Amino acid sequence: MTQERNPRLVRFEGIVKRFGTVTAVEKMDLDIAEGTLVTLLGPSGCGKTTLLRMIAGLEDPTEGDIYIKGERINDIPIHKRNLGMIFQNYALFPHKTIFDNVAFGLKYRNVNKAEVEKKVTQALEMVRLPGVEKRMPAQLSGGQQQRIALARAIVIEPDVLLMDEPLSALDENLREEMRREVDNLQQMLGVTTIFVTHDQREALSMSDKIVVMKDGKKLQEGTPDEVYNQPNNHFVADFLGHSNFAEGEVVGKENRFVKVRLKDGTIFRVEDTGRFQEGEPVELVVRAQKFDAFRQEEFTPDPEMNYFEGKIRDRSYMGGEVSYFVELPDGTEVHIISMMRTRIYEVGDSVSVQVAPRHCHLLPIET
């Protein structure tokens, strides 16, 4: 792309959506840059689909403005917005051939017949399903139908591609494949894409930016790496991956570390971000994957590390990794996931567990 990319291709300003007394989206401000894939991630009922439907024009915002390419689109009817939409259930027209399905949007865009045929053929090649023009949608598998839906949406060269949980109707293996397909296609075409999902793995693997939502509010917005490794609140840390939480208090600072005393008296050292001062109550977060477990008698404490001791309570294989629950002397349980290449412990084994300060994060206590 030779042009400068528009950092605000889609812009939400103070969007509020209420259904009767229920607030689905609350004061949402969000900018979406041209050519990026942005995921709206959150549990069901968090307002992500409503937000998407407001861009499409299928819902009207109660308050606030939506802009596409700097133009306010609140009052522009759906059919004039030039958007491509992908639905969870594919929404192919069952009474039309694949050709007519894909060509559908072109009919309303004054494209001549030869051009239509060329574009449809191209679009079908792009989704790697050439030659199915004459078939009916029901003759294709679910994954194929979703690809046709993708072809139908991209053939009109939309300003924004909107995808509402497009992969959740597919089975596990197919989903993985389609996820890569959508990702590749999006990068190849450079089309700005807004992707709604409740699946954190989908979000982490595809997105340029993730917007984590809950109860109609935006909790955090950032690259997959940012939201995964630097969650800025309890929900985000909990929703993305397996996290352990412990409450404590900042008791002092030392070099570039903050010292935190947990409820059971353990002192943890955490990298100082300058966010918390001495005396503040905090919540400590550590990802289950960041711990290393050692047999107690073989363990030599490293003064640079945080460590504690406990007993293996529960163990389960998860394919390439093992998940343990370690019980501490005061009865709390810590979830640890370790790669299979390290030693495998039995239930009842006494272990020492260590974690580097850079893998520990602090969050404010939420009331």
Q: Residues in the site for other proteins, rule: CB under 8 A?
A: 56-58, 77-85, 87, 89, 91-95, 104-105, 107-109, 136, 138-139, 149, 152, 156, 162
CA neighbours within 13 Å on the CB side: how many for 148? 31
At its nearest, how many Å lie between other proteins and the CB of residue 78?
4
Find the distance separating the first CA and the last CA of the chain, reported in whole Å.
47
Instruction: Give just the sign of the alpha carbon dihedral 31, 37, 42, 44.
Output: positive
What is the b/e burial string over 121-151, where b = at least 16 CB atoms within 10 angstroms of the residue's CB? eebbebbebeebbeebbeebeebbbbbbbbb
CA–CA distance, 251 with 68 (Å, rounded to integer) = 49
When the beta carbons of 162 and 288 are compared against other proteins, the nearer one is 162
Is 83 or 240 the residue whose CB approaches other proteins more closely?
Answer: 83
> CB-wise, 93 or 245, nearer to other proteins?
93
Return the number of the residue (19 or 317) whose C-beta is nearest other proteins: 19
Which token pair is 356?
């580097």
Q: How far is the CB of 26 from other proteins (least distance, A)?
A: 23
- Cβ(327)–Cβ(264) under 8 Å? no
What is the edge-to-edge ordering of all strands in the sheet holding 217-222? Answer: 83-86, 160-164, 192-197, 37-41, 209-214, 217-222
How do beta strands 350-355 and 292-295 pair?
antiparallel
Question: Is residue 253 within 8 Å of residue 272, measured between CB atoms?
Answer: yes
Q: Which is nearer to other proteins, 95 or 113 (CB)?
A: 95
CB of 136 to other proteins, least distance (A): 5
107 vs 256, beta carbon nearer other proteins:
107
Question: How near is the Cβ of 165 to other proteins at its closest, in Å?
Answer: 12
- In angstroms, give the least distance from the CB of 169 to other proteins: 12
Give the nearest distance from C-beta 40 to other proteins in angstroms.
17
Torsional sign, CA 273, 276, 278, 283: negative
Give whichever of 75 and 346 is closer to other proteins, judged by the CB atom. 75
Is the CB of 162 or the CB of 282 nearer to other proteins?
162
Q: Shortest gap between Cβ of 79 and other proteins (angstroms)?
A: 5
State both tokens at 214.
């809950």
CB 56 → other proteins: shortest distance, Å? 6
Dihedral sign from CA coordinates of 49, 52, 54, 58: negative
